[in-house]
Structure 1
Amino acid sequence: MNMNTPAIKSAVVLCTGEVMHKRLRPAKNAFRYGVFFIRVPVRDIKDINRMSTPKLFSVNRFNALSFHERDHGDASQPLAQWIDALLKSEGISDADGEIWLQCFPRVFGYVFNPVSFWFCHRQNGELRAVVCEVRNTFGEKHLYLLENGGKLVNGEELQARKIFHVSPFCKVEGNYRFCFMKAQQDLRGQAAQHSLIKHLARIDYEDAEGPLLLTSVSGREQVMSNMQIVRVMLRYPFMTLGVVLRIHVQALRLWIKRVPFFSKPIPPTEELSR
């Protein structure tokens, strides 16, 4: 499927899938677990609550599942205004189509997003840029801008230099390799009017010695309904508090395996890098 074609316009998309993480050295460590996440049409945020949205989901209001603008970008202004200004400050003025923000939602008011992805499209649906909003457990965040000067194609590899502290078991050096893919599988029979849209975001990290970490988050779009919300909350009962708990559990495992520990450096002065 051409990843430059927007998925579902003017409605929040619910996705179910998994997170994968694999460390290659000096001690091997790997895990994967099920998650659910949402994809939010940023330019239509103000209209979402007025649409036929499930009662268990809301925007900027407390609910079983919710999305709050202040959890992303600059809390002092609307998200669409913020991301447009950010892109234009970096010389990108043609990302004037829909912008899909992929992130974990709040579950009963709580959320932690290690990384959120802003997929910035042109009006013709082509993917122009991706902004990765990375956060650590110290309350700090950094933005990585990924673009090639033109249209981003499905599965294209993009790189950024690592300058932001995320884990005490990795130095702040080296590079990230990003890859974003979208695939569509048409269904037959009674479900022929629907399709399965799958999303994959892969982030691999390498230092001077070569590949060190392989990570990905993937998911398949689901119909956003009250019943589906109940199902995913029962299936993944530790979202999103479990995200933080798993971070600390995996850190303990690395410490037990005697993986070298690096103290937290001073955060970068720049908000965004490439």
Structure 2
Amino acid sequence: MTAQIVRTRIRHVRLTPVRHEFRYRSYGWLVDLDDLPRLPHWLRPFAGFRAADHLGDPRRTLRENVEVYLAAHDIDLRGGTVRMLANARVLGYVFNPLTLFWCRDRTGAPVCVIAEVHNTYGQRHCYLVRPDERGNARTGKRFYVSPFNPVRGEYQMRVPEPDDRLNVSIVFTDGRPIFAAAMTGRCHPATRSTILRAILAMPLAPLAVSALIRWQGIRLWARRLPVIQRPAPPIEEPSR
């Protein structure tokens, strides 16, 4: 199969009004939406991929939902390819702070990237960006993620499509840099041994990531960082 396991290192840095930094290790899956992993029965509970966990109609496939989303932005991806970087569902649980979809047309030329963001309130939103040849792109912020960041300003993204390495970063600015996150890692073919090593090194990885993000939020609240009221989600991506 074409799927890969990406052993990741993730770094979050809040720059203002207080400096706060944390790092952790995890792993994700880099998959072709036309060739999702076909795993032995005993591994399936640790690597589930459901349309309901991402954009669009849960009754359609992931690939169909990407095509529908792009068609709404006047992009015809029929005959092209989509590679997705995401956490898989593990023992019935999944949390994806950031899912990336790299979209290429039928000639293999890059078309766009979909950056799908989930917050800890069960909401999601997609940003459609067209990176330059270095993978750099910008987009206005329209979605509530952190209770300490306003829904305004801009994301400066670096989202080059990975080959054997992943190197993604996002900086949130609002007149000045406020917050930065980076995710790096090496991509490995998704063999039984690499999957098992990732699971044993980081069991329940999506749950651990969700818990860690919430714990860091409690630490910031304890430092009296002002909390910003959560607005209604964007209309096109309602709360689930």
Q: 1:141 aligns with which of 117, 121, 124?
A: 124
SS of structure 1 residue aligned to 2:35 = helix
Structure 2: which amino acid aligns with 1:240?
P
Structure 1: which amino acid aligns with 2:137?
L
CA contact (8 A) 2:51 2:59 kept: no
Q: 1:33 aligns with which of 18, 21, 24?
A: 24
The verdict on how the C-alpha distance between 1:29 and 1:203 changes in structure 2, with shifts beyond 3 A counting, is: same
Give the distance between the partners of 2:162 and 2:2, measured in 1 at CA: 19
Q: Deviations over 1:231-257 (max 9, x none)?
A: 112211341111111111110111122
Across the aligned residues of Structure 1 and Structure 2, the Cα RMSD in angstroms comes to: 2.0
Corresponding residue of 2:151? 172
The answer to whether the aligner puts 1:68 opposite 2:12 as a matched pair is: no
Structure 1: stretches of 5+ with no match in the other structure? 1-9, 185-196
Corresponding residue of 1:18? 9
> How many Å apart are 1:207 and its aligned residue?
0.7
Corresponding residue of 2:90? 107
> How many Å apart are 1:135 and its aligned residue?
1.1
Matches within 5 A, 1:40-189: 40-45=31-36, 48-49=37-38, 53=39, 56-58=42-44, 63-74=45-56, 75-94=58-77, 96-147=79-130, 152-153=132-133, 155-182=134-161
Corresponding residue of 1:265? 231
The verdict on how the C-alpha distance between 1:16 and 1:56 changes in structure 2, with shifts beyond 3 A counting, is: farther
* Identical counterparts, % of pairs: 29
Matches within 5 A, 1:185-224: 197-208=164-175, 210-224=176-190
Query: Which has the greater radius of gyration?
Result: 1
CA contact (8 A) 1:161 1:174 kept: yes
User: Aligned pair count?
Assistant: 237
The verdict on how the C-alpha distance between 1:56 and 1:13 changes in structure 2, with shifts beyond 3 A counting, is: farther
Structure 2: stretches of 5+ with no match in the other structure? none
CA contact (8 A) 1:174 1:206 kept: yes
The verdict on how the C-alpha distance between 1:103 and 1:183 changes in structure 2, with shifts beyond 3 A counting, is: closer
> Runs of 4+ in structure 1 displaced over 6 angstroms?
none
Q: Deviations over 1:56-76 (max 9, x none)?
A: 544xxxx22222232122212
Corresponding residue of 2:196? 230
> How many Å apart are 1:126 and its aligned residue?
2.2
Q: Deviations over 1:133-157 (max 9, x none)?
A: 1111111111110026xxx42x332
> How many Å apart are 1:201 and its aligned residue?
1.7
The verdict on how the C-alpha distance between 1:183 and 1:72 changes in structure 2, with shifts beyond 3 A counting, is: closer
Q: Deviations over 1:167-205 (max 9, x none)?
A: 111111101011123565xxxxxxxxxxxx001221110
Q: TM-score, normalised by structure 2?
A: 0.91
